[in-house]
Amino acid sequence: MATIIDVAKLAGVGIGSVSRVINGKDSVSDKTKLKVNKAIKALNYKPNQSARSLVSKKFNTIGIWGTELAGTFNSQTLRVIDHELITHEKHCLVTNGDISNLENPREAIDSVNDLIRKGCDGIIFWGTDITHFDIAYVEKYFPNIVLLNNRIEKFDQKCFYFNHYKAGYIAGQHLVDNGHKSIACITGDFQTEDGRKRHEGFLDSMKDNNITVPSEFIIEGDYSFIKGQEGVMALLKRNLDFTALFCGNDQSAMSAIATLTSNGFNVPDDISIVGYDDNDIAPFTSPPLSTIRVPFDDMALAAVRYLLNTCYDLQLSVEHNFPVELIERKSVRNLT
CB 23 within 8 A of CB 52: yes
What span, in angstroms and rounded, lies between the C-alpha atoms of 27 and 150?
36
Residue 5 host element (H or E): helix 4-11
Give pLDDT, residue 97: 65
Is residue 239 assigned to a domain? yes
Whether 93 and 22 map to the same domain: the answer is no
Give pLDDT, residue 45: 85
Is residue 131 assigned to a domain? yes
Is residue 140 assigned to a domain? yes
Asked if residue 50 has pLDDT above 70, the reply is no
CB 276 within 8 A of CB 172: no
Nearest alpha-carbon partner for 16 in 311, 314, 309, 316: 311
Which tens digits make up the pLDDT trace of 218-255?
999 998 999 999 999 999 999 999 999 999 999 999 99
Is residue 329 assigned to a domain? no
| CATH number (domain holding residue 19) | 1.10.260.40
Q: Which domain holds residue 114?
A: 57-161+298-324
**Poorest-pLDDT segment among 14-23, 163-172, 190-199:** 14-23
Give pLDDT, residue 87: 95
Average pLDDT over residues 53-57: 51
Is residue 315 assigned to a domain? yes
Average pLDDT over residues 179-187: 98
Asked if residue 51 has pLDDT above 60, the reply is no
Whether 47 and 155 map to the same domain: the answer is no
Give pLDDT, residue 71: 52
Which tens digits make up the pLDDT trace of 19-30?
778 776 667 888
Question: Of 36, 54, 72, which residue sits at a domain end?
Answer: 54
Average pLDDT, the chain: 89
Whether 255 and 244 map to the same domain: the answer is yes
Whether 42 and 116 map to the same domain: the answer is no
Task: Give the range with max mean pLDDT: 60-74, 123-137, 147-161.
Answer: 147-161
Give the chain's domain count: 3
Is residue 16 assigned to a domain? yes
| CATH number (domain holding residue 226) | 3.40.50.2300
Average pLDDT over residues 155-177: 96
Whether 269 and 204 map to the same domain: the answer is yes
Whether 50 and 61 map to the same domain: the answer is no
Whether 174 and 139 map to the same domain: the answer is no
Collapsing DSSP to helix, strand or coil, 171 comes out as helix
- Please give the model's pTM, rounded to 2 decimal places: 0.80
Identify any residues that bridge with 273 across adjacent strands, giving them in sequence order. Answer: 245
CB 147 within 8 A of CB 135: yes
Is residue 331 assigned to a domain? no
Average pLDDT over residues 46-58: 56
Q: Where are the beta strands (DSSP E) in the chain?
A: 61-66, 91-96, 122-126, 145-148, 159-160, 183-186, 218-219, 244-247, 272-274, 291-293, 325-327
Which tens digits make up the pLDDT trace of 130-139?
888 889 989 9
What span, in angstroms and rounded, lies between the C-alpha atoms of 233 and 236?
5
Is residue 332 assigned to a domain? no
What span, in angstroms and rounded, lies between the C-alpha atoms of 270 and 69?
35
Whether 184 and 285 map to the same domain: the answer is yes
Whether 152 and 171 map to the same domain: the answer is no
Whether 41 and 132 map to the same domain: the answer is no
Whether 173 and 209 map to the same domain: the answer is yes
In angstroms, the Cα distances linking 49 to 19, 22, 239 are 11, 10, 64
Contact residues for 26 (Cβ-Cβ < 8 A; gap 6+):
none
Asked if residue 85 has pLDDT above 80, the reply is yes
Whether 11 and 107 map to the same domain: the answer is no
Nearest alpha-carbon partner for 64 in 97, 99, 93: 93
